[in-house]
Structures are given as C-alpha cells and as structure tokens.
Structure 1
Amino acid sequence: MIQQETILKVADNSGAKTVKCIKVLGGFKKRYASLGDIIVISVQQLRNKSKSTSKVLKGSVFRALVVGTKKRYKTRDGLVLSLAENTAVLINKQGNPVGTRILGPIPKILKKKNFMKFVSLSSGLI
C-alpha cells in the first residue's frame, strides 16, 4: 500500500533512484495505491550525479506506475506474493514509460490490467 509521502525505488533506467509519492490517482479520497495503480511522484535522488545522462531532473514531477509493494497480495490460485521493496516505473502524460528498460521482474497482475508496454520491457513475470 502506497500513500502520500511514501518513498519508492525506481525500477527503470530513467535516471531517478528514489521518488516520493505526492498523490494517489484514481478517484475522490483514494488513500492507498496498490500494484498497477498510477501515482504522481517527485524525484528525490538521481542514480548518477551527471545530469547529462539522466532523462529526469531532481525535483521534477512525473506520473508513475506501481510495480512492486511490500504489502502481500494473493493471487486467484492461492499464491501469496510479497516483494522486498516498494518500486515504481516512471511514465509520461501519454502513459508511455520514460526509461527503455525495466530492471527485474514484474507481477502478472500488470498483464491483466493491460500494461503490455511494461511487460514487454521487463525481464520477466512473477
């Protein structure tokens, strides 16, 4: 469960290392985001100090797709999954990913929610 002021790690090669959640999108008074939800984030740290190789700047505001949470979730076949850290992938206003690769596997629930661009960029599914 991701809420405002939550620090997340970035799972793509956009240049950001950590981001902070500003707002959870998806309805009036929605407090928490789970896997596959869209949030508004602010970049807190950059992966490398040189700004020329980074596609984002510190303090810039983007939208992000939540691809991993520490909160456990249960699949239909009875499998219970939980990940080690909260992760997100930066997206632009049109819904396309900012980076060109997604580091690590992503959950199958994103395939069911029709985020096929992110599934094809990732290294695998869990």
Structure 2
Amino acid sequence: MIQQQTILKVADNSGAKTVKCIKILGGFRKQYAKLGDIIVVSVQQLRNKSKKTSKVLKGGVFWALVVRTKTQFKKRDGSFFLLSENSVTLLNKQGNPIGTRILGPMPKILKKKKFIKFASLSVGLI
C-alpha cells in the first residue's frame, strides 16, 4: 500500500528515477493507493544518462499510475501474487503516458481497469 511521503521507483523511460507521493486521488479520506490507482507525485531524482534529454525536471509535479506494489494482491481464483518493488509510470494531465516504454512486467489487472495503452507499452503481463 502506498501512502503520502512514500518514495517510489519510476518504471518508464520518461527520465525520472524516483518520485515521492504527494496525494492519493479518488476520495476525501482515501489514505492508501493500490494497483491501478492514480496519485500525484513529485520527481526526486533523475536518471544520470538522460538529464539533458529528460522529459521531466527535478521537483516537477505529475500524475502517476501505480503499476507495482509490494503488498500481496489476490486474484479471483484465490491465488496471490507478490511483486518486489513499488513503482509507477508518469502521466500527463490528459492521462496519457509521458514515456514511450514501460520497463518490467505489469499485472493483467490493469488491462481490465481500462489502462490498455499501458499494457501495450509494457514488456510483459503477469
């Protein structure tokens, strides 16, 4: 579960390396974000190689889609799956991805939550 002040990895090639969660969107008292939720983040670190060609700047505020979380997620058939890190992909204000690739696998759940564009950009689905 992701809450405010959580440091997250960025799973796309937008140029950001780590971001910090500022706010969870979707309700007045919503404290935690799960897979497929949209949050507001601030860029903390940039990738070394792409500082000049980066699409984002340090300190910039963006929307982000939660792609992977460390907490267990239960499928409908009763099985669980667990991912190794908390990561997000950055969005612009229209809800489109900033990066052109998503690094690492992405859960199939996001494809069902109407994020088909992200599923097509990812390496694989689990």
TM-score (structure 1 length as normaliser)? 0.97
SS at the partner of 1:103? Answer: strand
The equivalent of 1:60 in structure 2 is 60
Partners of 2:50 and 2:31 in 1: how far apart? 35
SS at the partner of 2:110? Answer: helix
What residue identity is the alignment partner of 2:95?
G
Compute the RMSD of aligned alpha carbons: 0.9
Aligned residue pairs total 126
Deviation string for 1:53-95 (max 9, x for gaps)? 1110000000000000001011011221111110000000000
Partners of 1:24 and 1:49 in 2: how far apart? 30
Deviation string for 1:40-63 (max 9, x for gaps)? 000000012653211100000000
What residue identity is the alignment partner of 1:111?
K
Per the TM alignment, residue 2 of structure 1 is displaced from its structure 2 partner at its CA by 0.5
* Runs of at least 5 residues in structure 1 that lack an aligned partner in the other structure: none
The equivalent of 2:111 in structure 1 is 111
Partners of 1:80 and 1:106 in 2: how far apart? 15
TM-score (structure 2 length as normaliser)? 0.97
1:95 aligns with 2:91: no
* Change in 2 beyond 3 A, CA 1:111/1:50: closer
Which range moved further: 77-86 or 17-26? 77-86
Aligned ranges 1:1-126 → 2 under 5 Å: 1-48=1-48, 51-126=51-126
Identity percentage of aligned residues:
77
Partners of 1:50 and 1:101 in 2: how far apart? 15
What residue identity is the alignment partner of 2:67?
V
Partners of 1:10 and 1:3 in 2: how far apart? 16
SS at the partner of 1:110? Answer: helix
What residue identity is the alignment partner of 1:65?
L
Whether the aligned pair in 1 keeps the contact of 2:15 and 2:50 (CA below 8 Å) is no
Per the TM alignment, residue 105 of structure 1 is displaced from its structure 2 partner at its CA by 0.9
* Runs of at least 5 residues in structure 2 that lack an aligned partner in the other structure: none
* Change in 2 beyond 3 A, CA 1:49/1:124: closer
